[in-house]
Structure 1
Amino acid sequence: MPPAFLTTSTPRRTVLRGLGAGAAALAGAGALGACSSRDVQEAEKASGAGFTITDQRGKKVRFDGPVDRIATTIIPSPSMIAAVDGTHSRIVGINESTLQANKEGIFGTLFPESKKTATIAGADFVPNVETILKLKPDVVIQWGDQGDEVIAPLDNAGLKVIGLTYGTQEEMETWIDIFGTLLGKKDRAAEIVAWMHDEAQAVKKLVATEKADDPVSVLYLRTADGGWTTNNKAQYMNYWTELAGGRNVARDEATGTPQVSVEQILAWDPEVVVLSGFDPATPEAFYADKRLAGLRAVSDRRVYKIPLGGYRWDPPCCESPLMWWWTAQILHPSLAGRIGLRARLTEAYRTLYGHQPTQAQTDSILHLDLNAKSSGYDGFHA
C-alpha cells in the first residue's frame, strides 16, 4: 500500500517555492479541504471586497467583487478550477477539446453539467467572442503566449482577461495560485501545490533506488496530419519524463512540437513510447505498423496510451502527480508494488473532486483495455 497522503492538516506554504525546499519524501501533504483562512475568505466574498490579479503577461486585472462566471479556452483549466473550487458551477464556457474529454472520461461523471458547457474556442484557441459575450463571464482565461490573434479580440471586446503561459511545472503552479485568488480559495490552492511538491520529491526518491547506468529513453508521440509530432525540452512532457527517471529522446529538437518521420523514430529507437491522450492512436495499432517493426519499444511491447482522468494526463493539470507516478511505473515496472497507483488515484480523487472512483472507473482512467498487451501493464491491476 502507498503511504497515506492528503489526510492531515498542513500549514500554508509559499506557493512557488522550489520543488526541493522542505518537501516530505513519502509522507504526503495535508488535507486540501482544511482552509485556515476560510472565514476571512467568506467574509470578503460576502462584503464584495475587490482584488487584483497579475497574470502571466504581467498585466494587472482588477475585480471589484466575487467572480461567479468563468469562461476559459485553456483545455486543462476547468478540471483545475473545479479541484480548487470543489465545484464546476462557476465555469460557463470551455474549449471544444475539453468538452470532448468531459464526455469521454470520468470528469463528466463527476460533474455532469460539464458535458453540456458552452464551447468558446477550438483547437486553435481562437475565441468565439460573440458566444463569450452572450455568456456574460466575469473573466475569460486565455493563453497569453499564443499570439495576439487569440487574446487581443477578448481585450478589444472589453472583457476581463487573464493570460496564462505554458511549459513548466512552475508556470502550472502559478495557474493554481491565480485560480485560488480568483475563487477566494488561496489556501486550498496553496495546499494543492504543496502536495505536488511532496509527490515530486517522493517520485525522485523512489526512482533513485533503481540502479541504472542510463535513464530510460522515452518518445512521446501525438498523431498529426497522417504523421506524428513529439515534444522537446520546452514542453511539459519533458518534465514528467525526467522526473520519473527517463530521457526524452527529442529533448534537443529545435522546435517545441516537431514533426517526426518514421526514419527519425527508428533512428532514436526509444525503449518506451507513450501515446498522447489527445488522439485515438493505440498501442495495438502501433505494434501493427510494419514500418516500426524494428523499433525496440515495439519488440519489447513497451508502448503505452496515456491515461484520461479528470483531464488528459499529457498536459499540466491538478492530476499531474498521478501522471508522474504512472510514468515512473511504466519506466520501472519493478516499482509497481511500491507505487500503488490505484490507491494513490483513489485518495487523490476523493480529495481533489470529492469522489471515490469505482474499480471500473479506475480501470477506464488507466486504459487497462488499450494497454493490456503492453509489457508490465498488469502491474496496474493492483
Structure 2
Amino acid sequence: MRAYLNGNEAVAAAVKLARTEVVAAYPITPQSTIVEKIAEYIAAGSMEADYIRVESEHAALAACYGAAVTGTRVFTATSSQGLAYMFEMLHYVSGCRVPMVMAVANRGLAAPWTIWADHQDAVACRDTGWIQLYVETAQEALDTCLQAYKIAAHPEVLTPVMVCLDGYVLSHTEEIVDVPDQEAVDRFLPSYRPEYSVDTQRPYVFGVGAGPDLYSAFKYYQQQAILKAKEVIKEVDREFQAHFQRSYGGLVDLYYCHDASVVLVVMGATAGTAREVVEYLRRQGEAVGLLRLRSFRPFPVEDLRAALSRARVVAVLDRDCSFGYEGVLATEVKAALADLPAQPQVAGFIGGLGGRDISQEELAGIFRHCLEAVRRQDRGEELVVSGGWQK
C-alpha cells in the first residue's frame, strides 16, 4: 500500500507492523505524533499492545526495560531534553543487553531553548552502548525501524537501537511511502522469543552488581556484540532487500564516491540536498561524491576506509559540536582514515545547528572550497584545507 506519510507516521506504522507489544509514551516535540499515532492504532483496535502513559522520559525507558526483560517486543520515542533525561537508563538497557527500538526525532539541546533539529541530542549519547542508525527519508524511517528490531534481537548482538530522524525536516514532512503488508513483514520479522528473559520457571537476574574482577568482562562482551552488529546490519539490509526490493547500503550509502577527488560525509536528511549538489557539480565536470553515514554506532571504519581511500579531500558536515574541539563526526572520520597509506585531507564543517537551513549554495561552497585546494596541489602547492562553522 502506498500512502502520504510524514516521518513520524512512518515510524508509527513500522511499530504497528512489527507487532510491538508494549509502548511507553511521554510527549516531547517533535516526536509526540509518533506515540499519538500509535495510541490511535490501539484505540481503533488495529494494533494489539499495552500502552503505558508515564510521567517522564526516564520512566518511559524504565518501563520499556522492565517489559523487555520479560521477553516482550517494546518501543518508545523521544527527542532532545527527553533523551538527555533518559541518560541513566540508556546505560542500564544496553549494559543488560536488552534489545529494543527507540525513535529519536533529533532536536537541538537547550540552552538556548529550541525545538528545531540538529544531531547534538543523539551524538551526545554516542558512548551509551546503543546502536545509532540515521535515516534520510520517511520510507527509510519505516524500513529501518523494521530492520532495527531484527538487528537488536540478533543473538550475537542483543543491543538496543536508536533510529534517528531529523526533526521537522523529516519527522513532519510528508512523502509517498510504500507501507508493506502485514504478512510480508511477518515473514521478514518473526515473533520475538528471546533465549533469556524473566520467567517464573527459568529465573534470570538482569542488572546484577559486578566487582572489578567481572565488570570489565561484561563490557568486553558488550563491545564485541556492537562490533558484530556491523555484519548483522549489512546482513539484515540484504534480507530486507530480498523481501521488499529496497536497500540502503547497510552501514554507509555511497553516491559517486568511486572516482571523486572530494567527498562530502553527512548524516540524516541533509543528504537529499547534498545529492542534488553533487549532481549539479558533476554536470559541470567536477569529480565530487557523497557518503551518507547510516550507522554512527557501530562506526563503520572499514567501509569508510574502502570508500574514501581514493579521495584527496574528505569534507565532513556535522550537525553537532564537541565543544572545545570540533564536530564529533569529523573527529571520528579523521581517526578512521589516520593510517591509510595515502591519507586524504579531512576538513570539518559545522552547520544546521538548531534547525538552521543548510542550502544548496552552502554545500556547493564547501565542495568548491575543497576543489580549489586540490587544484592548488596540482599546481605544486601543499594540500591544506580548512573547515568552517555556519554562524
Relative contact order higher in (CA < 8 Å, ≥ 6 apart): 1
TM over 0.5: no
**Scaled by the length of structure 1, what TM-score is found?**
0.30
